[in-house]
Amino acid sequence: MARVYNFSAGPAALPLPVLEKAAAEMTDYRGTGMSVMEMSHRSQEYSDIIETARDRFRRLMDIPDNYHVLFLQGGASSQFAMVPLNLFSGGARADYVNTGAWSKKAIAEAKRWGDVNVVASSEDKTFSYIPKLERDMFSPDAAYVHITLNNTIYGTRYTKLPSVGNIPLVTDASSCILSERIDVSKFGIIYAGAQKNIGPAGVTLVVVREDLVGDALEATPTMFRYATHVKAGSMFNTPPTYAIYLAGLVFEWLEDRGGISAIEEVNKRKAALLYDFLDSSSLFKGTAATEDRSLMNVPFVLPTEELNATFIKQAAQNGLVTLKGHRSVGGMRASIYNAMPLEGVEKLVAFMKKFETENA
Ligand SMILES: *Cc1c(COP(=O)(O)O)cnc(C)c1O
């Protein structure tokens, strides 16, 4: 069997033991004689699957009791609308920080439903840094403050949360959830599409504080109300059953490996290996501001477009695939989510060193 090291930004690599377990259970889930895909979501077996997944996720993230965990559909992109629809009832004004393409999309959706104040932006330098944020930049009457915790395309992340006082802090954590410890109690809402660090595409995780569930704007469709899904335990309609099952296997894998603090150590080693090489290289160059570097997405460039293309091609021939950067940044991007083993990054750095010697 030939498995490559897949540096895709998303959908991204999944842990091999998870895929193997899913394969073993594919046609007969634990003696039921059927696949999880064929199972009623109201069955006892499925109820155990979703509840176990939820419990594992709560343990991994150390989620306080006054937060609900929802398994929804529609991706992080649906949350761009769901957040304002549900939170604007407490004042139709919100503060957003613009740190890239995903922030912009969130801002555009929120603007449909109320006043949006973009308090800071890093667009002046192709979103290569996180703007400095001070308490007095936020409006005291804002219904919430929205940040994109890790910027998948530009490889930046918040290493420190903005101080927002009592205003609920809402974050898109799609590309960094479960990668390092975060204090859930600092947030009103945390949401994430699954296809980077949770599981396959198709399920969206939402962690929402109890007091933010309830009133939504009058026109909000039933499916877009947090209250609908809280009340029904994410079973208002058919949930993405197989994606949740697989996410549950990923949570189990993470717990078996020692949880978030253990994977955080591995992630820091992986990122350091890559950044240390980039900092010492005479040919490759990282594009994100040093102090705001992501642990998950590492964009870098070579001096010419021709070298970028040659590197991507030769890397793929060596089993290091999906390294092409996003078109807005160019060059390369190595996404090194939880499922990327340390050896994958070691192989990549060794290949980069060899490429540097050959092309110096
Ligand atoms: C991938 C990504 C999204 C888009 O997620 P969908 O599930 O495709 O809607 C949004 N925000 C961030 C930070 C992402 O990395």
- 113 close to 83: Cβ distance less than 8 angstroms: no
Whole-prediction pTM value? 0.98
- Amino acid at the residue 257: R
Task: State the pLDDT at residue 1.
Answer: 61
- 226 close to 215: Cβ distance less than 8 angstroms: no
Q: Give nearest CA residue, ligand 1 atom 5.
A: 76
Q: 76 C-alpha vs ligand 1 centroid, how far in Å?
A: 5
CA 239 to chain centre: 20
Q: What is the atom index within ligand 1 of the atom nearest the CA of 76? A: 9
* 93-98, strands of its sheet edge to edge: 67-72, 204-209, 189-193, 169-172, 145-148, 93-98, 115-121
Mean pLDDT by groups of 10 residues along the chain of 360 residues: 93 98 98 98 98 98 98 98 92 93 98 96 98 96 97 98 96 98 98 98 98 94 98 97 98 98 98 98 98 98 97 98 94 98 98 96
Task: State the pLDDT at residue 2.
Answer: 86
CB distance 77 to ligand 1 below 6 Å: yes
Q: What is the DSSP letter of 293?
A: B
SS3 96: strand
Task: State the pLDDT at residue 90.
Answer: 65
Q: What is the atom index within ligand 1 of the atom nearest the CA of 102? A: 11
- Tell me the two tokens of residue 49: 């699957």
Q: 95 C-alpha vs ligand 1 centroid, how far in Å?
A: 20
